[in-house]
Structure 1
Amino acid sequence: MPNFIASGGRKPWYRILYVQVLLAIALGIAVGHFWPATAVEMKPLGDGFIKLIKMVIALVIFCTVVSGISGMENMKKVGRVGGKALLYFEAVSTVALLIGWAVATVVKPGAGLNANPATLDLKAVAAYAGKAKEQTVAEFVLNIIPNTIVDAFARGDILPVVLISVLFGYVLSRLGERGRPVRDLIDAGADLVFGTTNALMRLAPLGAFGAMAFTVGRFGVGSLGPLAKLVGTFYLTSAIFVFGILGVIAWWAGFNIFKFLRYIREEILIVLGTSSSDPALPGLMEKLERLGCSKPVVGLVVPTGYVFNTDGSSIYMTLAALFVAQATNTDLTFIQEFAIFGVAMLTSKGASGVTGASFIALVGTLSVVPTIPVAGMALILGIDRFMSEARALVNMIGNGVAAVVMAKWERELDYARMQAVLNGAVPKDGAFSEGAAEPSHRARPLGAHVKA
């Protein structure tokens, strides 16, 4: 049982990353409100920061997964963890779809708008409709397989990188001592990758400022007026899901959801500022390992969860679809609503990380279910950026909770360490303070984890 002490020697408040990000968001809102023309020009700051983080995400996943799997004695565990994770993702995201459906049915956020689809700007939605191509299951599976290994890293798609990482980790584990030089090389490379990520995260305040300034300057807080009920309903539903559904799941796993949110507050603020969950991926994986989750579980669950465990996007899909129907006075039968629900179960997968991906997926859903006029999506096009922040937040938080649950399920969770870290204590051996960068890839041996 490790010994823990309370962390000391905290940084000055102005040097803490989450404080800097929070101040940057506030400054971005102010600039967007008072100088909108200037604020719109700040967009490259947010886009540039997201691109910098996405630049290293593939390497973060590769180093974490390969190093973790190559150290596993029982390779059947990889398939078992993956299978359990997919079942968990499907169950929780289905609950999210149901919650969005139920809230839209009860609250009716679109009632009373009486929008005429013939007068709406269909051209504004047409550009997104062109991207929302229907994809078969076979095409989805084939797209997981990259054309070449280099192609997977060049495109930065998460699932192909995970596939390659699992294969490399499996082969490396079979090589035994012959593979030790390669394992040492990957571990050394992980030092470089995580060091680079920590350096890039110092630019998070700049990226959050640029993204938030652009959002407020381009769309304006005033654009929320006519559709404030929809935005408020979506944020309230997201909060109910996080504190209700995920809170209960966290309680079952043995931790407090409020303490967990406080622990990952830097990632929460970065997602809030950039409207994308991608920039939070490296930091989330690092903190989950520091929390006591084993490296193989984190490496498998979090990246795949970014594709399959899209809780925030699932809430948005059913809530926004029924909103458009209500706003355009389109009467739906139960069978039609169920059809929307069924299609959304498929189209919501993969609608994570990229800003606006959920909007494209929703356009694709309404295209498959033509009862609701696609032109009605023009109603929420202007405010979708505000809702994308909540979508990305719920997606990211949901995947963090999922990793802890899977670690507990597999008895790969250091429960004593998790409780100590969430309570603000640190291990005496190699103590780290909150905000410091403890090398996450130096995970404890799997045998050191105890059952929660």
Structure 2
Amino acid sequence: MKKLRFGLATQIFVGLILGVVVGVIWYGNPAVPTYLQPIGDLFLRLIKMIVIPIVVSSLIIGVAGAGSGKQVGKLGFKTILYFEIITTFAIILGLALANLFHPGTGVNIHEAQKTDISQYVETEKEQNNKSIADTFLHIVPTNFFQSLAEGDLLAIICFTVLFALGISAIGEKGKPVLAFFEGVSHAMFHVVNLVMKVAPFGVFALIGVTVSKFGISSLLSLGKLVGLVYVALAFFLIVVFGIVGKLAGVNIFKFLAYMKDEILLAFSTSSSETVLPRVMEKMEKIGCPKGIVSFVVPIGYTFNLDGSVLYQSIAAIFLAQVYHVDLSIWQQITLVLVLMVTSKGMAAVPGTSFVVLLATLGAFNIPAEGLAFIAGVDRIMDMARTVVNLTGNALASVVMSKWEGQYDPAKGAKVMSLAKTEQNTTISG
């Protein structure tokens, strides 16, 4: 007897559609968040529970097997250089499109839904009190276990890389420690598969809550901004990443099809953390060395937020146009530099996009109050920029593997083709 088998992507898509339907039908009903928010929060907590153990174990295995500290340092330099180049492209593209299409011209922002952003204002003030030296010092943890408890990824990566280099340096004595973390890594990836079984329910709940709170009507007042952000992110995803992929020997459309489960889940939850373990696993399957994947992907989650900086540059120009603040070409060049610095300095801060915008707007005399109106549709734009962030970090693994001469394009294409064939099979015995 043959039966239909629905893959994870199909299940998540069904959950997404049902969530939208529930949100539209019960728009404004406080019962929806009351009953559905705990389900969505439970799923996000399950994901956050496993992210750190996977990052630590994978990074230790990868770095300890990569060789000397010199090799790791070389990889780190190349990775940061690539991130800076691609991030700069994203910021410049955002500014160019905002200047070309003028999304803020003629917009009556007072008709838009206003949202409380006081929490971001306080965070921005705290961050502004920190110097550049403080930001770099924060990368080195004074207490590793405290960093684990707080989920401070940069501090965790710093200690883990040093610890892994120590394991590599002591040779045979370090093998039992390495074997332990290999076991942890395998066990945690099994846990990931278990957690993914409830992903469709989490997506249903999170989308249902979002739509019931803001409704479809919230898009109308700021439709030009939302539309331009989506077009810009789609252009960056297909064209810019398409060129980068071609240079690395990857067809971007096949790559996106290969990553469709993770892309749909990230889009639905507005969180790239939900798919970090699966992204790392998939990059290894297409031929990227574990050492490179476990190093590049976690660092990318704090340093390579292409979708976020693209959105921030558009939003900054949008608000300048709304409030009739005329920015010269030199001011916009300065804006590029400011965004490059602030987006890295606040990488681990909750609500990064808003905090970065607050810090940036103040430097150009653009009223920050406008963010209270953008916040009403921020979740809708966040869904799209999360997809670009995710794809950028996954593709970075391929780029760095190619740069290091350790990527086989033929193997990658074969695995992606096989994965596509398996995903298209909906009948099982």
Give the TM-score of the pair, scaled to structure 1. 0.87
After superposition, residues 39-438 of structure 1 pair within 5 angstroms as: 39-41=32-34, 42-115=36-109, 124-132=116-124, 133-134=127-128, 135-349=130-344, 356-367=351-362, 369-424=363-418
Query: Could you tell me whether the CA contact under 8 Å between 1:302 and 1:403 is conserved in 2?
Result: yes
**Distance in 2 (alpha carbons) for counterparts of 1:348 and 1:12:** 46
Q: CA deviation at 1:311?
A: 0.3
Q: CA deviation at 1:12?
A: 3.9
**Distance in 1 (alpha carbons) for counterparts of 2:419 and 2:209:** 39
**Distance in 1 (alpha carbons) for counterparts of 2:162 and 2:3:** 42
| 3-state DSSP of counterpart to 1:99 | helix
Task: Name whichever of 133-142 and 201-210 sits farther off.
Answer: 133-142
Inter-CA distance 421–354: structure 2 relative to 1 (3 Å threshold): farther
The residue aligned with 2:24 is 33
Q: CA deviation at 1:126?
A: 3.2
The residue aligned with 2:427 is none
Q: Deviations over 1:226-279 (max 9, x none)?
A: 111110100000011111111000001001001111111111011111011111
Query: Could you tell me whether the CA contact under 8 Å between 2:115 and 2:375 is conserved in 1?
Result: no
Code of the aligned partner of 2:369: A
Q: Deviations over 1:13-59 (max 9, x none)?
A: 32x11111110000000000001324323122222212211111111
**Distance in 1 (alpha carbons) for counterparts of 2:206 and 2:360:** 28
**Distance in 2 (alpha carbons) for counterparts of 1:395 and 1:120:** 27
Q: How many residue pairs were aligned?
A: 417
Q: Deviations over 1:319-344 (max 9, x none)?
A: 00010111122222223323322211
Q: CA deviation at 1:122?
A: 8.8
Query: Could you tell me whether the CA contact under 8 Å between 1:352 and 1:358 is conserved in 2?
Result: no
Task: Name whichever of 291-300 and 145-154 sits farther off.
Answer: 145-154
Give the TM-score of the pair, scaled to structure 2. 0.92
Q: CA deviation at 1:127?
A: 3.1
Code of the aligned partner of 1:40: P
The residue aligned with 1:445 is none
RMSD: 2.3
Code of the aligned partner of 1:100: G
Q: 1:19 and 2:10 equivalent? A: yes
**Distance in 2 (alpha carbons) for counterparts of 1:122 and 1:112:** 18
Code of the aligned partner of 1:161: I
**Distance in 2 (alpha carbons) for counterparts of 1:123 and 1:197:** 35
Query: Could you tell me whether the CA contact under 8 Å between 1:60 and 1:282 is conserved in 2?
Result: yes
Inter-CA distance 47–123: structure 2 relative to 1 (3 Å threshold): closer
Gaps of 5+ in 1: 1-9, 427-431, 436-452
Q: Deviations over 1:329-378 (max 9, x none)?
A: 222222332332221112223767988431222122212x1411111212
Q: CA deviation at 1:84?
A: 0.2
| 3-state DSSP of counterpart to 2:116 | helix
**Distance in 2 (alpha carbons) for counterparts of 1:266 and 1:178:** 40
Q: CA deviation at 1:188?
A: 1.2
Identity of aligned residues (%): 38
